[in-house]
Structure 1
Amino acid sequence: MKQLPFFSLLAAFVVSSFTFAQNSFIPQPQQLELKKGTFVLGNKITINPDPNFPEIDYLMKQFKSITGKNLTKTTSNNFDNTINIIYLAAPENSNEEYYELDINQNGISIAAPTNRGIFLGIQTLLQLIEEHKKDLKLPYLKIKDEPKFAYRGMHLDLFSSFFYVRCGLKLFELFGGLQI
């Protein structure tokens, strides 16, 4: 009977991890609104080219490496599968890395006030495509995102790292590891 709580805990963990695995973005967006329906990336996928966005070439290259399909540049919005990249008037209190990604029945749009925001929106779209590359059915969603903090980086405490490595080696020696 003592194994029952363990198995129920294990089952809860497995179910929660499968649920979390759907649309898990890194980093987690500030606002994510999932909607009903899916957008299927068909055989002919078009993108509206704009000379102001050198990021489009990057998106085309990465899209080809993930899906094996080519994006076709077009100036017309008559196709069902269109990725639109547009400039957006910056919302109040937003920074240069703000972007909006919208996937709906009309297509995919990435909007941002700067090229840096466009690039981050493309990165999020590529994560989503990578996650759904087997069937290329992207869920309808709307993401509004920007970094919480101005600085992103890593802090490395050399003394603590040295201390933990040294303690680990001592424990390894104590339990019959290395015979030095």
Structure 2
Amino acid sequence: MARALRAQPDYIPVLEAHCRYLSTTNRFVESLVACGKVLARDPWDGIALYLIGLSQVFLGRFDDALATFKQADSFDTPPVARWTWAIGAGFTYLLMGRAEDALPWLQRSIAITSASGRTHLLLAAAYQQLGRVAEARATMTKALELRPGSTALNVPAPTKNTSPVYLKASERIMSLMVAAGLPEK
């Protein structure tokens, strides 16, 4: 990666790869900088915007993350590309304790890409928070069909370098998922 960055420091695919690498390895502050370099060259880069939003989520900057996901969603891109921004916005709303606001985003994400299962897990948590227990259980059943073997131990993202604000909100969401039927172990 370092050699590619030295050889072509302004080449968007190299910058995107660096942005993705830093995000994937939970180096969120560095990822914000790297992804910002991508956006400086291509302000409509959906991958960079998604990874910026995720980094902001894991750093506990929920308002910033929501604005980033909404910005990406506002671009005139094909609907098939928008599911990640929709799950990002829905997840962020859930982290903020705003399940009602999360619902349309999560439902739209599932309408675009229905087979990931991750969005179903979040939707089940939203229904559970809203007291819509039957819908939460049915949605969790679908999530477990799509992601067999999912448990409260293997569903959460790695916590290295995440903020205490994110950790607390994430624990609340996991509790909602367990209440909706996600096995603990």
More strand by share: 1
More helix by share: 2
Which has the higher relative contact order, 1 or 2, with Cα contacts under 8 A spaced 6 or more apart? 1
Higher radius of gyration, 1 or 2: 1
